[in-house]
Amino acid sequence: MFTNEYDVIVVGAGHAGSEAAAAAANMGSKTLLITMNLQNIAQMSCNPAMGGIAKGQILREIDALGGYSGIVTDKTAIQFKMLNKSKGPAMWSPRAQSDRMRFAEAWRLHLEETQNVDFYQEMVTDLLFDKDRVCGVKTSLGLEVYAKSVILTSGTFLNGLIHIGEKQFGGGRAGESPSFGLTERLVERGFTSGRMKTGTPPRVDGRSLDYSKMVEQPGDDQPSTFSYLPSTQPLQAQRSCHITYTNSKVHDLLREGFDRSPMFNGRIQSIGPRYCPSVEDKINRFADKDRHQIFVEPEGWNTVEVYVNGFSTSLPEDVQYRALTAVSGFENVKFFRPGYAIEYDYFPPTQLKHNLETKPIAGLFFAGQINGTTGYEEAAAQGLIAGINAHLYQTEKEPFSLRRDQAYIGVLIDDLITKGTEEPYRMFTSRAEYRTLLRQDNADTRLTPLSHKIGLASDERLEEMEKSQHQAESLIRFMKKTSIQPQDINPILQDKQTAEIKQSLKLAKILARPQLKMDDLLQLDLISHYLQKNKTTQTTLEQAEIQIKYAGYIEKEEAQAQKLDRLESITIPQGFDYNAIQSISTEARQKLTKIQPRTLSQASRISGVSPSDISVLLVHMGR
């Protein structure tokens, strides 16, 4: 069946695998997407939502680069919210509640419509090698398929083990078999592996809930979209989520099952996600708290299935049920399925290069939870970068990577390969030093030109970006050169409780005041006339406002980023012998030898490498 060699084989069809296959294929690589169940492409294994704090920025970046996740999210969303609007724009993060079934369906249809993608359903149990280069995969039926590059996106399936109370059984997801063979094969080839844990809450029947006892959480009045393409439209109707809370009775009922909890009786020894703990972990670690939030999230437009966000657990199913019936609004709850924990193999990501190619084996790329991350968005971002670089590798072109000052995706990958992770890694805005530059509104201006240059982002994307950028720049110029008279603006200033002006002042100076927003100035005739004449969009208004209000912060971060670029431009020769330099610390020599940083900038971010060590390296690099 597979007599011809593929350019790229993608193993696994979760969020990472789907983006990887799409990227490689759209760049021109003949791609095979092989997975254990083709009915579960891009399955939302956990919560039915995309985006959120920092994750929304990643999703916008994926779209700006030419990925599909933003488009699929827009087409299948049931609610949209911009989080952190009360804070500065660097913190604004879009989030969408998704229709779980439609999301997976839309992803599959997009992939089926993508030229150069073939599909095959089977388990990959081994890799094929030509010395220190990968050359294909071997399946459980003994089928050998050859390729110039291979991307592993195994999610939680590598030797996956599911825990519910004292019961445990193999599985990559509830109802699906684990994957065997790949971990052992990679360890044989010199890789180091580890174990991680994640979990998921019960799903329940929404018809059994009393929403009158909960607090409704509607979407935004004016919802936006994730994709920058005009082909996706904002939601016209939305479904609400709800909030309720645990209480002391719930906590007492949960504690009754601690002796049968795999987290507390030693059955689970791997580390779970710090920022998405199980409910039993929360009441154990935060014993002083008498309640915790529960987000009640619908799984789609028409289904009655509900996701109980905040109640992730691996306690016995009878304990889960009794405790949940003590939550307000859940007194008569009916379970669809209990929550569970899952342990799985991962490979510490310090074994990767910036392009997500493995250091020991050429042409082999890792993306997603195999690298120790958690979250759909982090996985999709890695898949996109791996797909791009698998194509560039097999066409013998320079690898593609993003710097920390260019994208959250750059921060994500640099953190992973430089610092590694011993717990499931999750992106936050606080991880980015340049978050004023890396806003959700400007991902297209940051990244679309870079992606277009390597052949992924389409001409349409570049044209839309340039059009939007031109509109914003024109509006900023207009506001910087146009003055407003006191009698026209003072009523607005008085209403906003900010000082009135006594002589004409440029509009940009007025807008820079913290008490004012662009919306406040739309009632001015000279602005409304300009907007109508130029058909200015809401997105353009937002971008212009941010650039005017935060110009000082933006310029400061740009200056800091330029300093970083100086160290980023100093590359370290491959295989550099750090042991030959006695004037750097022993810890620095060990860490540098293990990680083999690409540049002095990356070396400076390694834990245990001091500024004095970098100074010594600068001397040895002739600087």
pLDDT at 19 over 70: yes
Q: What is the pLDDT of residue 180?
A: 94
CA dist 580 and 577 (Å) reads 6
CA dist 255 and 252 (Å) reads 5
Q: What's the one-letter identity of residue 58?
A: I
Using one digit for the tens of pLDDT, what is the confidence trace for 85-142? 999 899 999 999 999 999 999 999 999 999 999 999 999 999 999 999 999 999 999 9
Q: What is the pLDDT of residue 287?
A: 87
Identify the residue with better confidence: 570 or 213.
Answer: 213
338 vs 162, 317, 318, CA distance in Å? 12, 6, 9
Of 197, 191, 198, 195, the closest CA to residue 350 belongs to 191
Q: What is the pLDDT of residue 623?
A: 59
CA angle 276, 277, 278 (to 5 degrees): 125
Using one digit for the tens of pLDDT, what is the confidence trace for 472-529? 999 999 999 999 999 999 999 999 999 999 999 999 999 999 999 999 999 899 999 9
Using one digit for the tens of pLDDT, what is the confidence trace for 170-206? 999 988 999 999 999 999 999 999 999 999 999 999 9
Percent of the chain that is helix, strand, coil (3-state, to 5): 40, 20, 40
How buried is 88 (Cβ within 10 angstroms: 0-12 exposed, 13-18 middle, 19+ buried)?
A: middle
CA dist 321 and 7 (Å) reads 49
CB 313 within 8 A of CB 281: no
Model confidence, pTM:
0.94
pLDDT at 62 over 90: yes
Q: What residues contact 336, with CB distance under 8 A and at least 6 apart? A: 202, 203, 204, 205, 305
CA dist 578 and 585 (Å) reads 10
